[in-house]
Structure 1
Amino acid sequence: MLIVRLSPTARAVADALGVVRSFSDGSELPPTAAERLAVVVEEWVANVVEHGDAHPDSRIVLRIGHREDHLRLTVSDAGRPFDPREAVFAGPNLERGGGAGLEIIRAWSRIVDYRRRAGRNRLVLIIPLD
């Protein structure tokens, strides 16, 4: 299991990607699963940084477990409450780009659980290895 703690700053996305790519290489993940993991982590961490309004002293915590047929990704953060199961996709934002990240996350992973506890969001995703 990999556990990473990141500051909720613009640097968090690059740091998360570096750690995830290293984890994928070390775990010898299939290329498609490794890329999907990287994109899912990138999109979620970017959303926390951009929209979560987390205190700079707080941490985004990533936990990645490798099972026989899937990855289990748990992300927690101290940003605003956000349950991705309830978010409505209004289409991409053509003016600034982006806006489709949550739909990519939903397409490439299964949301197992979301909870808000003690001022933190906790999201659990399963990413298939096929």
Structure 2
Amino acid sequence: MTDHSTEISVAACHAALPELLAGLAVACTQLAVAADDALRLQLFAEELFINTVDHGFSGKTGAPVRLSLSRAADGLRLHYSDAAPPFDPLAAPLPEAPGDNVGGLGLSLLRGMSRELHYRREAGRNLVELLL
């Protein structure tokens, strides 16, 4: 059962990142999220968002990105969705060693710092769910 959920929607452009993170900070405060978890959630959201803008939309403004945060019996759930081309962060290869590539480190963060990570494509949107 969800105690509280907040949805945030911003345009997929670099200028909207502060608005997205500010909305997430408010949601964390409303849900009484511990400071270290709030910072981790902001890191996850920033990584997903920047990848959407830079890779999904090649730096051009894209359709809205939606993010919601909820507290449930099993922990905090961050839901992230975008309308960029399909991209499954679970299927993407990770760099073999630090320094091999400029990219891929965010994927390691997402996979390593969350208890669960799920992806699906639905109604033309990438849907990523993280559990802390």
TM-score, structure 2 as length reference: 0.82
Question: Where do residues 57-72 of structure 1 align in structure 2 (5 Å cutoff)?
Answer: 58-72=63-77
Deviation of 1:117 after TM superposition, in Å, equals: 2.1
| In 1: Cα distance, 2:68 partner to 2:75 partner | 14
- Pairs aligned (count): 125
Contact 2:79 2:129 in 1 (8 A): yes
Matched, 1:82 2:82: no
Matched, 1:101 2:106: yes
Among candidates 15, 18, 21, match of residue 17 of structure 1 = 21
Runs of 4+ in structure 1 off by over 3 angstroms are 54-57, 91-95
Partner of 1:122: 127
Deviation of 1:78 after TM superposition, in Å, equals: 0.5
- Match for 1:16: what amino acid? L
Q: Deviations over 1:37-96 (max 9, x none)?
A: 11111111111111111873511011110124511111111101101110111256688x
| In 2: Cα distance, 1:49 partner to 1:57 partner | 7
Q: Cα 1:20–1:92, aligned 2, differ >3 Å: closer, same or farther?
A: farther
Task: Name the SS for the 1:59 alignment partner.
Answer: strand
Matched, 1:41 2:55: no
Contact 1:8 1:49 in 2 (8 A): yes
Percent identity of equivalent pairs: 31
Q: Deviations over 1:88-119 (max 9, x none)?
A: 11256688x664111111111121x3111222
Matched, 1:6 2:10: yes
Cα RMSD, aligned residues only: 2.2
Contact 1:93 1:99 in 2 (8 A): no
TM-score, structure 1 as length reference: 0.83
Q: Cα 1:35–1:85, aligned 2, differ >3 Å: closer, same or farther?
A: same
**Is 79-88 or 98-107 further displaced after alignment?**
98-107
| In 1: Cα distance, 2:72 partner to 2:123 partner | 29
